[in-house]
Amino acid sequence: MPPIPGKACGSCKMCCQVLEIPELDKPAGPDCPNCAGRNGCAIYDARPNVCREFECEWLGERSLGPRLRPDLCGVIFFVDPDTDEYRAVSHPAKPMAFRAPEVFKHLVAMAKAGHVVVAKAGMVSHRIHANGQWGPWV
């Protein structure tokens, strides 16, 4: 999904922080050691394809407003390519950020649209249901 006009990563680097990147032996949680330099990446020209190709949902989804940019709301949204789950991964420093009203409203809407919605907070995963209930997900 291409970025929609008016949206850009800007100072956000949530995908370089919270996601696991097996190609770099980077675990989920800590910053990628390459977070620095031009465009926020010290190896920008040699970054792996997974970095070149990744775009979070916020970039391409018009309904996600400016306050839901991942670094501002503390949650990154994406569709897991292996499970097709709609994932909301909170920054380790804000593990319950997915419960913020605007974020949670979006997650419930995605569940109502038929997605399996999973919010990850540290090592814990929660399933978000279309009726607004949420609970542990294994």
Considering the complex, what minimum distance in angstroms separates the CB of residue 109 from ligand SF4?
19
Whichever of 43 and 100 has its CB closer to ligand SF4, that residue is 43
Whichever of 47 and 87 has its CB closer to ligand SF4, that residue is 47
Considering the complex, what minimum distance in angstroms separates the CB of residue 112 from ligand SF4?
23
Whichever of 48 and 132 has its CB closer to ligand SF4, that residue is 48
Q: Which residues pair with 35 in a beta bridge?
A: 41
- Quote the CA–CA distance of 9 and 79 in Å, as a whole number: 18
Considering the complex, what minimum distance in angstroms separates the CB of residue 136 from ligand SF4?
26
- Quote the CA–CA distance of 35 and 51 in Å, as a whole number: 12
What is the rounded end-to-end Cα distance, in angstroms, of the chain?
A: 29
92 close to 81: Cβ distance less than 8 angstroms:
no
- Quote the CA–CA distance of 66 and 25 in Å, as a whole number: 31
Whichever of 33 and 122 has its CB closer to ligand SF4, that residue is 33
Considering the complex, what minimum distance in angstroms separates the CB of residue 92 from ligand SF4?
14
Considering the complex, what minimum distance in angstroms separates the CB of residue 116 from ligand SF4?
21
Q: Which residues bind ligand SF4 (CB under 6 A)?
A: 9, 12-16, 21, 24, 32, 34-35, 41, 43, 47, 51, 55-56, 58-59, 69-70, 76
Whichever of 30 and 122 has its CB closer to ligand SF4, that residue is 30
Other CB atoms within 10 A of residue 78 CB: 19
What is the DSSP annotation of 81-103?
A: TTT--EEEEE-TT-TTGGGSHHH
Residue type, 30: P
